[in-house]
Structure 1
């Protein structure tokens, strides 16, 4: 019985090993820096700019909504740099799912992948319904009025009152675009994102022309009418306006040069989006006093006060273009996740079938698209929207923790990439035989006697083979030494006068003590977040302050103790700066935001996870590729 329990836990917590099979590319590498950047912009700037800005300015932050957008951009940037490190380091599709599988374990990876799937399915469905509603409202709701009479549905809060055929149509067209290939879909996304940016430029230019600084300085309450706490509350809501890095991290297998382009496109995209949000919110709050801003249609109503009726049509075009680019970005992620999980045996194998012409996982695209259509036709918009945020926050939390965890323990990622380096297209070819796969070169040793089929080989081939073998052997020896150092206490600390206090850490294998410190720091941050969210009535009580201070101090001490251990210095691509502090700050923000969500959102998440666990234990547990590898080795 004990051995069965051990086998069960080892199976569900087994981490994925990076190998040549893992790093293979079934998708076409065709996306350059421009494609990825516009994909990032298109996935971030959605309809929220045209609606949510007015709501936050009117009821939450006032003119300081500008500061809220800046705070939200900084907080989102912390998550983006964590995604950037993994996306550049492991250029395979799957994003947060892959990162969790490689660093935490199989079951946690499945849960993350399962939740990111529902998040993007729901996001695509919600955006399609919002697009339908926006278009219908622009022409006086004829479609809604007709369908409510002739095709009524149950309604009642969860189920929609009528089937949304416009949403179905736009989803069908989007599926056709996605299945036509990554290059075409990225160009179309870039086109709509470009239109959206042009509209934003018009809004900002006209708004600043019509604006008056008195609406910032002489209005009731001034620039911070709801206090700085209102500004922070606004940032907590607006942080979801920047969620788009999951899309870019999912494109790494189709990027021509992910080592450079993934981090760069994330930073450029985030910067452009932040400038757009700040500019648009500035123009709005300069045109109209914050208490007169319309929550439903802030920009058309603001321009209407100045007699600029024509801007209503410009804003409508911008909003519709923004929603299309966001919809395409969400649909882009779903089949890549299905494919990644299918490759690993955690979902059915047919999800990883790729077309020979466009090199797209077409079965995953069709299944994901059909699910989106079902959700859009069946459920109310508000029910869908509440499901979106928690999946992304959970994934961002795990990615941030994975960054710290892998920096302080020996891992298969560093071992594989040290012995099988991936070069960018700008680097010169080596003298060894290599294969070029759309800009990526992997060294192959083909000149061995066994492969030539003869007992001997030409002198040049033998010399090349011996040199290559010696080079790999030297690299492996060097890495074995470095791998032993990673996750152990630094030598200068052991040699110091305080060395006797940390000698106990040498009894454990490399990475064990840092791993426990990461777990303890995360637990402490979760406790602090819980007290900040759920004890607001007692926040000034001595016992509440004591608990927050104690667990906050324990988290800081745990993070500081990590500095005494050797980090993995073999990473040649982009690295998150300020480890372990920046990733933990990102994790803390994400945990805090998750705990601020409505209880029913957590209930829905629990139900979805239970459904996922049924899928995992009925299929994925038995068909796991990693489990098969271990079983064959035994």
Structure 2
């Protein structure tokens, strides 16, 4: 019984975070905002424009793929705000894995990390396979014809009819690039993305000159697959925004990550959303959607329109964009594995050079899986496996934002110095107290402490600013957890003023209010699940007025509204953050709602394969991770200290 108790406690143990060490990087900081944008947009535009858009248009949504892009783009932009907040809280390699580990617990973090490993592997396989198709297309299919003549077997929907050699080659070559230097790979990604952007502008412009409204209005019309097709297409398109995770994973290698990473995330998301929407409009309006090819779709479509030279220009653009996408997908794998290895949840399988960020010991196992998938699995089947890991990860990050905002304990960094210098955000426990108290300049300013390590910062302040600092009369060894200067006396639990906490109610969260918000969030997630299944799988019964479908629909809607109001009415942690997700809890709740709606319409085959991968991961966790985790050592130390304290308190008879 005691062993079972320890196991369940291990599931919920959280990563111990020391705010003073969060900006101590284990790597050389040599990346800037352009490098991060190259990683984010390179992965998104490459796989989005040249692979996923044509698949969604032909197989899932038709011309209404435009609406799918809007849904996926809105969800991605809102998720980017949640990621930006946690990036400023915990600027470390590992991205969503680290965020969940510090917020929800170890088991949830392992599931997220393991699912993102699969997502990046499949993404690399899809990108490499499409790259091989584009390259072979420029050679008029010579390589595929040769392998088909000499190594053919019986294929099906899942397996190819001959091995695809080119993807393995490009995966190997791209992996060698990461041995050298992370800066070199990100710089190359930015250059390729810029060149690819010029080609994409040509795709949009050429499409505008060939617009025919009949491509939207002729039978079967604008909604050939109905509402389910739109949402399913949005779920598939969501995978093109996985660059967010790759950018966050590079926080420890970025100069001024607190400023740079959020700006890169928001810029990359908005630009990607706009570009993908424009390309979707151009393709669906200029070419009959049902005639799109399954491979090399856009170059072939424009060639069929009679645009001279378009095939080779757009095929070369596809090679540039897919190479950048491949760099982005591989970029996140070693950093995620490195973070999980440092927490000892995985056996050491990847080593990174702290000076260059290059991979010293290649991630052989993930890349081997990517090679096998790209060689033997069809492209359409690989695309169906995308997005699920990203949707699960992004949903959990939104849950983490809600969780930590309504907790009495703060997680990660916060803005310690208010209105003086936004770069100074360290939480400290050792202070210097110069005698600067000046009652004449006391205009109700909040108390501010200055660290020993920040004496240089203090000396650089102007004389007027120095006199505005009110220094407390406290012993030198005093410590603190939260300062008056980081408290925002807003009487509302939310940033929105739609719902106000009545006067006299505490504006700081307690254990009771935290429990209330957590229960309401769980009920909200359950209601969202019921709503999704009713809308997707019982829509016919709902439209025909079936009593049970109508009752379930109304109950789920009312529950969603009530739980939202309950969460809004709870007080939030008022710590002044370096970046805040706007309109909490509405934005995270909307992210959860949209993502779960998209997840419910993904292929059951995708869920099956994800479940198998997750089962294998849980075996790894229970065999190795749960017994070797770094947090178990901290727990054991706390138990020993607790036992010693109890023994000291026991009276001697």
How big is the shift at 1:231? 5.2
Report whether the alignment pairs 1:314 with 2:301: no
SS at match of 2:25: coil
Equivalence for 1:280: 279
Q: Is the 8 A contact 2:246 2:328 kept in 1?
A: yes
Residue 568 of structure 1 is aligned with which of 547, 550, 573? 573
Matched, 1:241 2:240: yes
1:111 to 2:111 alignment: yes
User: 1:443–1:624: structure 2 CA closer, same or farther, 3 Å change rule?
Assistant: farther
In 2, distance between residues paired with 1:348 and 1:225?
Answer: 48
- Assess if the C-alpha contact under 8 Å between 1:287 and 1:302 holds in 2: no
> Could you tell which deviates more after superposition, 199-208 or 213-222?
213-222
Q: Which shifted more, 145-154 or 199-208?
A: 145-154
Counterpart among 580, 596, 607 of residue 602 in structure 1? 607
Match of 1:452 in 2: none
Relative distance call for 1:428 and 1:310 in structure 2 (3 A) is same
In structure 2, do the counterparts of structure 1 residues 59 and 146 end up closer, same or farther at CA, with 3 Å as the change threshold?
A: closer
Where does 1:88-103 land on structure 2 (aligned, <5 Å)? 88-103=88-103
Query: Structure 1: how far apart are the matches of 2:305 and 2:160?
Result: 38
Decide whether the 8 Å contact of 2:37 with 2:268 is kept in 1.
yes
Q: Corresponding residue for 2:447? A: none
Distance 1:54 1:336, change over 3 A: closer
Q: Within 5 Å, give how 1:105-504 maps onto structure 2.
A: 105-151=105-151, 158=158, 160-208=160-208, 210-212=209-211, 214-215=213-214, 234-288=233-287, 298-304=297-303, 307-349=306-348, 351=350, 353-355=351-353, 357-363=355-361, 365-414=363-412, 417=414, 473=478, 475-476=480-481, 478=483, 493=501
Deviations 1:172-211 (A, max 9, x none): 1111112222211101111221121110111222332x23
Aligned 8 A contact 2:39 2:327 in 1: no
Q: CA deviation at 1:124?
A: 0.5
Aligned partner of 2:644 in structure 1 is none
2:588 matched to which residue of 1?
A: 583
Higher deviation after alignment, 185-194 or 21-30: 21-30
User: Following the alignment from structure 1 to structure 2, what is the Cα–Cα distance between the partners of residues 520 and 406?
Assistant: 18
In 1, the alpha carbon distance for the partners of 2:194 and 2:288 equals 30
Q: Distance in 2 between matches of 1:553 and 1:361?
A: 51
Q: How many Å apart are 1:117 and its aligned residue?
A: 0.4
Supply the distance in 2 between the matched residues of 1:158 and 1:302 (Cα, whole angstroms): 25
For the 8 Å contact 2:66–2:281, the answer to whether it is kept is yes
Size of the alignment, in residue pairs?
Answer: 596
Q: Deviations over 1:287-318 (max 9, x none)?
A: 34556666655544543355322011011011
Distance 1:333 1:469, change over 3 A: farther
Q: Is the 8 A contact 1:215 1:287 kept in 2?
A: no
Post-superposition shift, 1:393?
1.0
Report the more deviating stretch, 392-401 or 54-63: 54-63
TM-score for the superposition, normalised by structure 1 = 0.83
Q: Is 1:531–2:529 an aligned residue pair? A: no
Equivalent-residue separation in structure 1 for 2:162 and 2:477 (angstroms): 64
Match of 1:362, SS state, is strand
Call closer, same or farther: CA 1:115–1:68 in 2, change over 3 Å: closer
Indicate conservation of the 8 Å contact 2:131/2:319, yes or no.
yes
Aligned match of 1:514: 517
Contact 2:293 2:300 in 1 (8 A): yes
Which residue is 1:552 aligned to?
Answer: 557
SS where residue 476 of structure 1 aligns?
coil
**1:199–1:562 distance in 2 versus 1, CA, 3 Å:** same
Q: Deviations over 1:23-82 (max 9, x none)?
A: 542122111111111221111112442354445556765555444423331122122221
Distance 1:472 1:527 in 2: 54
C-alpha distance in 1, partners of 2:217/2:609? 45
Say which is worse superposed, 7-16 or 470-479, in terms of deviation: 470-479
Separation in 2 of the partners of 1:341 and 1:33?
26
Say whether the 8 Å CA contact 1:179–1:360 is kept in structure 2.
Answer: yes
CA distance in 1 between counterparts of 2:126 and 2:509 reads 53
Provide the C-alpha distance between the structure 2 equivalents of 1:395 and 1:267, rounded to a whole number of angstroms.
18
Paired position in structure 2 for 1:69: 69
Distance 1:233 1:388, change over 3 A: closer
| Greater displacement, 219-228 / 284-293 | 219-228
Deviations 1:525-550 (A, max 9, x none): 12212222232342232221211221
Aligned counterparts of 1:468 and 1:336: Cα–Cα separation in 2: 46
1:462 maps to none
Structure 2 distance, partners of 1:583, 1:26, is 31
Give the secondary-structure state (helix, strand or coil) at the position aligned to 2:367.
Answer: helix
Aligned-pair distance for 1:616? 0.6
* CA positional deviation for 1:101: 0.7
Distance 1:546 1:185, change over 3 A: same
1:524/1:552 contact within 8 Å kept: yes
Which residue of structure 2 aligns with residue 10 of structure 1?
9
Structure 1: tracts of 5 or more residues without a match: 434-441, 448-465
**In 1, Cα distance between the equivalents of 2:265 and 2:454?**
38
CA distance in 1, matches of 2:340, 2:193: 30
Q: Following TM superposition, by how much is the alpha carbon of 1:488 offset from its aligned partner in structure 2, in angstroms?
A: 9.5
Which one of the candidate residues 615, 626, 629 is aligned to 1:624? 629
Q: Is the 8 A contact 2:494 2:585 kept in 1?
A: no
Q: Distance in 1 between matches of 2:482 and 2:58?
A: 63
- 8 Å contact 2:417–2:425 — kept in the other structure? no
Counterpart contact for 2:159–2:378, Cα < 8 Å:
yes
Change (3 A) 1:444 1:120: farther
Residue in 1 that maps onto 2:444: none
Query: Cα–Cα, structure 1 residues 597 and 538, in superposed 2: closer, same or farther, change >3 Å?
Result: same
